[in-house]
């Protein structure tokens, strides 16, 4: 799930800085799930 979310974020926002990747690695599964749902609300 974490890897897929990183790919989705990078596709939507561009290359993710290492600091952001590190923060994503610290998120719980529940937080990752919430973030993945929030991606739908991001505008281009």
Domain residues for 27? Answer: 2-41
Return the pLDDT at 43: 81
The answer to whether 3 and 21 are in contact (CB under 8 A) is no
For 30-35, what is the mean pLDDT? 96
Please give the torsion angle defined by the CA atoms of residues 42, 26, 20 and 6, in that order, rounded to the nearest 10 degrees.
-60
pLDDT for 2: 92
pLDDT of 4 reads 94
Q: What is the pTM of this model?
A: 0.80
Is the pLDDT confidence value at 39 over 80? yes
Instruction: Give pLDDT tens digits for 17-27.
Output: 999 999 999 99
Question: How many domains does one find in the chain?
Answer: 1
């Amino acid at each position: 799930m974490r890897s897929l979310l990183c790919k989705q974020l990078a596709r939507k926002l561009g290359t993710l800085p290492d600091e952001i990747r590190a923060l994503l690695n610290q998120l719980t599964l529940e937080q990752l799930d919430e973030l993945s749902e929030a991606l739908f609300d991001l505008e281009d």
